[in-house]
Chain A
Amino acid sequence: MSIEIFHQLGFRSQWNFQSFIDDNVGNGFILAPSHMEKTEVENLDSNLKRNSIFDPQFFIPSVQKRKLATYDFFPDIVANGFQTSEYSDGFSQECAERCIIFQKENGFEKLIIPTRYISGMPSSFIQQQQQLFVLPFVDAIARLGKDRPVLLQIVLNDGMIKDQEFSADLLNWITGIPAIDGVYLIADINPRTKQLRDIDFLYSYLRFIQALSLNDLYILLGYQNTEAALLTLASPSAVSIGSYENLRMFNIRNFEEDDNGAKRGPNARIYVSRLFQWIDTNYIGAITRVFGDTQLFDDNHYKAQMFEPSYHWHFSKPELYKHYFLVFSEQIRSISNYNGIDRYHFLRQLIEQGMAEFASIRDRGVILDQDSDGSHLPAWLTAANLFAQDQGWR
């Protein structure tokens, strides 16, 4: 079964639009009000919106962010100046109604029931989400007419996913909501390394996704980095791709008050599909020298541009990300050509080849730093093997 790819939009979303139009990458977009004012969304080409979903980003309902404030359904706006740190029942009905009207009027492919961010593992988690989001939004959708699929957004931290009882309760709750057709799932696992290497988390997340999938729900995995390739084992319906790191890993700090302070830019990185890793461009010269060519790096027209001697590598250059969109979407497509046990065997082979490539790089004297090395792959392979064992695939 093919897996859809959605561009997770944020800063510099024009790169994603260009990638979609020029390179035919992705099936659609996840629009982000924290980065796009209301009029900008309204004026967007309806063809682009038809293939997109709109994430209302209610993560911190009382937050004051300039762009969010342009939406009349955002909780802080509906509260109308009341000093409230709580998103209460009183506001939730109104927010839900306005938010659904906005999503419908803009012709988005699916309707999203948003969520608030909750840290820790409170026993009231389900009750809060049900009361403040599910019920008012389901009511609003029923009132306004359900004419397209509905996805429930959920942000889960690693504790929630790893704890068997908590995750079983979550699954019972989610799969017991008749009005939804799917889930827009986001994992909050900060602080973390650039690549996920927590075996317990990866294994538990695979099981969680699969349980949803077995219930015939559409599953969109948001804020995905390259681990999306591993998670395809659990048969999600769609995964996201994003440019900057904050679009490839969810971090609630990015949704707090606007911060205009200067930030240090990250190192430029290039994605290498054979390694399932973003390599610091500082290593490109060394790798090219010891291998005698640039074959390790995936070929496409962006590579041709980037490997011109005059090219100035910088994290804010679009080619790095457009190259990634093209390469990674192709990688996901090739994996999704297989199903079940065949997908596992194919992915296992790719991961093992990646590990061998890393070993070869090291053998030739290139010592990659911990953000570029292959230390995540043994963890991925272990999680994949555990999952495969459960399925009777090994």
Chain B
Amino acid sequence: MGIADNFTDILSLYPSAAPIKQGGQKAVFLIDHQDLGKCVLKVGIYSRPQTLERIVREVKTLREIDSPYYPKNYEFQVLDGNRFLIFEQYIESIPLSSCLQNYTDIENALFLLKELVLGLWIIWNKQIVHRDLKPDNILIRDDGHPVIIDLGIARLLDEESLTQTIAHRGPATPAYAAPEQLLNRKASIDIRTDQFNLGIITTQLLMGGVHPFDPEVVGDGENIMENIIQGKWVKDVFTNHDLRLLQPLIERLLGKEPYMRFRSPELLMQQIDNCLEKVRR
């Protein structure tokens, strides 16, 4: 039985609902809404009040943001039986994970990175860390501009963290997580955590989809997570000709500790612009 089976009453209202994604606690559909038109329906079940609170935060955040970098949130409802639903803007796009090969060119990869930083800057200004940036959570519109989705585990730094202290790992996708996330060092998680995630994604793009911490390419380590914690990645790639000019940028993004990364979005953007300028020269 899938999660969607708990929502037959809702889904029956949208006979054309097409599943996009199904996870443990959440399912996403593309629907035709009578008022909103084509939009995304997210349904889910929460088991703990903290989870609901987290979802409420996601919604609150999205509502405050009016930016092409994020989908618009139309409606949020809490239903009986610990259920909830969200109507969200549908964006014609494909996930970055399906088009990694379009970004092996340095200028394209840098352009995408710059766009992502511009998008993230909006939530960073609100002291929100996305904490789960990965190619699946980045959509590419037809015009090439990215949209950042799934702020579900982002948290407002001003608020008390909801993550249980006893959890071995903070909420994140391990292969894209920063060391402080994997080690659950909650006090060290801030906007620079997202920079690490961006560092992995950018390097992966430049390497045609290969994960920079993959033991097979690193030639050392047991798995990606261990290599992330140990700071072992394919630094050699950036000592080669064209990619050398990106070395200072990537090395800082993939700094093992947050203090090794960029202290502010301004400094990060400056470095990206420097690289872009050199590439275009």
| Chain A residues proximal to chain B, CB less than 8 Å | 126, 168-169, 171-176, 178, 211, 214-217
Instruction: Decide: A171 and B267 in contact? CB cutoff 8 A.
Output: no
Given contacts A126-B187, A169-B187, contact A176 B258 (CB under 8 A): yes
- Do B263 and A173 have beta carbons less than 8 Å apart? no
* CB within 8 Å for A216 and B267 given contacts A172-B257, A172-B258: yes
Contact of A171 among B180, B187, B259, B264 (CB under 8 A): B259
**Are A176 and B260 in touch, CB under 8 angstroms?**
no
Tell me how far the C-beta of B32 lies from the nearest C-beta in chain A, rounded to whole angstroms: 44
B264 engages A172 (CB within 8 Å): no
What's the nearest-Cβ distance from chain A to residue B104, in Å?
A: 30
How many angstroms between the C-alpha atoms of A240 and B180 in the bound complex? Answer: 35
B264 touches A178 (CB 8 A): yes
Other A-B contacts than A168-B259, A176-B192, 18 sampled, CB-CB below 8 A, are A168-B257, A169-B187, A171-B259, A172-B187, A172-B188, A172-B258, A172-B259, A173-B187, A175-B258, A176-B188, A176-B190, A176-B263, A211-B259, A211-B260, A214-B260, A215-B263, A216-B267, A217-B263
Contacts of A215 in B (CB 8 A): 259, 263
Contact with A along B251-267 (1 / 0, CB 8 A): 00000011110011001
Complex A-B, nearest 5 residue pairs according to Cβ-Cβ distance, in ascending order: A171-B259, A175-B259, A215-B263, A172-B258, A172-B188
Q: Roughly how many angstroms separate A175 CA and B258 CA in the complex, as a whole number?
A: 8
Q: Kindly list chain A residues whose C-beta atoms are within 8 Å of the C-beta of B258.
A: 172, 175-176
Would you give the shortest CB distance from B136 to chain A, in whole angstroms? 28
Q: Which residues of chain B in 34-70 are interfacial with respect to chain A, using CB atoms and an 8 Å cutoff? A: none
Number of A-B contacts defined by CB within 8 Å: 34
B224-281 with Cβ < 8 A to chain A: 257-260, 263-264, 267
CB neighbours (8 Å) of B259 from chain A are: 168, 171-172, 174-176, 211, 215
Cross-chain contact B257 with A171 (CB below 8 angstroms): yes
A265, B180: Cα distance in complex, Å: 51
Chain B residues lying within 8 Å of A175, measured Cβ to Cβ, are: 258-259, 263
Minimum CB distance partner of A178 in chain B:
B264
Chain B residues closer than 8 Å to A211, beta-carbon distance: 259-260
Which residues in B have their C-beta under 8 angstroms from that of A214? 260
Task: Provide the residues of chain B in CB contact with A174, threshold 8 Å.
Answer: 259
> Nearest CB to that of B190 among chain A residues?
A176
CB distance from B131 to the nearest CB of A (A): 15
* Cα separation A175 to B257 with both chains bound (whole Å): 11
Give Cα A176 to B259, complex, Å: 7
Q: From B263, which residue of chain A is reached at the shortest CB distance? A: A215
Complex Cα spacing A217 to B247, Å: 22
Chain A residues positioned under 8 Å from B264 (CB to CB): 178
Q: Given the complex of chains A and B, what is the CA–CA distance between A263 and B260 in angstroms?
A: 47
CA A328 – CA B275 in complex, angstroms? Answer: 41
Residue of A nearest to B256 (CB): A168
Q: Which of A126, A169, A174, A217 has the most CB of B within 10 A?
A: A169
Which of chain B's residues have a CB closer than 8 A to the CB of A169?
A: 187-188
Bitwise interface map of B from 149 to 192 toward A, beta carbon under 8 Å scored 1, else 0? 00000000000000000000000000000001000000110101
C-alpha gap A175/B192 in the complex (Å): 10
Bound Cα distance A338, B179 (Å) = 36
Alpha-carbon distance A178/B126, docked complex (angstroms):
12
Name A212's closest neighbour in chain B (CB-CB).
B259
Distance of A214 Cα from B190 Cα, bound (Å): 18
Instruction: Name the A residues within 8 Å of B263 (CB-CB).
Output: 175-176, 178, 215-217
A215 to B190, CA, bound (A): 15
Residue among A169, A171, A175 with most chain B CB within 10 A: A175
Nearest Cβ in chain B — how far from A235, in angstroms?
16
Complex Cα distance A257/B259, Å? 38
Per-position 1/0 for B179-214, Cβ under 8 A of A: 010000001101010000000000000000000000
| A176: B residues at CB distance < 8 A | 188, 190, 192, 258-259, 263
Report A128 CB to chain B, min CB distance, Å: 13
Q: How far is the CA of A171 from the CA of B255 in the complex (A)?
A: 13
Interface hub of A169, A173, A176, A216 (most chain B Cβ within 10 A): A176
The docked-state distance in angstroms from the alpha carbon of A217 to that of B263 is: 9
User: Which of B188, B190, B257 neighbours the largest number of chain A CB atoms within 10 Å of its CB?
Assistant: B257
A193 to B190, CA, bound (A): 40
CA distance A214 to B258 in the complex (A): 12
- Closest-CB distance, A129 to chain B (whole angstroms): 12
Least CB distance from A374 to B in Å reads 35
Q: Please report the C-alpha to C-alpha distance between residue A215 and residue B188 in the assembled complex, in whole angstroms.
A: 16
Set of chain A residues within 8 Å of B180, measured between Cβ atoms? 172
A171 to B187, CA, bound (A): 12
Considering residues B180, B187, B267, which has the most beta carbons from chain A within 10 angstroms of its beta carbon? B187
Q: How far, in whole Å, are A217 and B259 apart by their CA atoms in the complex?
A: 12
A-B contact pairs, 15 of them (CB 8 A): A126-B187, A169-B187, A171-B259, A172-B258, A174-B259, A175-B258, A175-B263, A176-B192, A176-B258, A178-B263, A178-B264, A211-B259, A211-B260, A216-B263, A217-B263
**A74, chain B: closest CB distance, angstroms:** 30
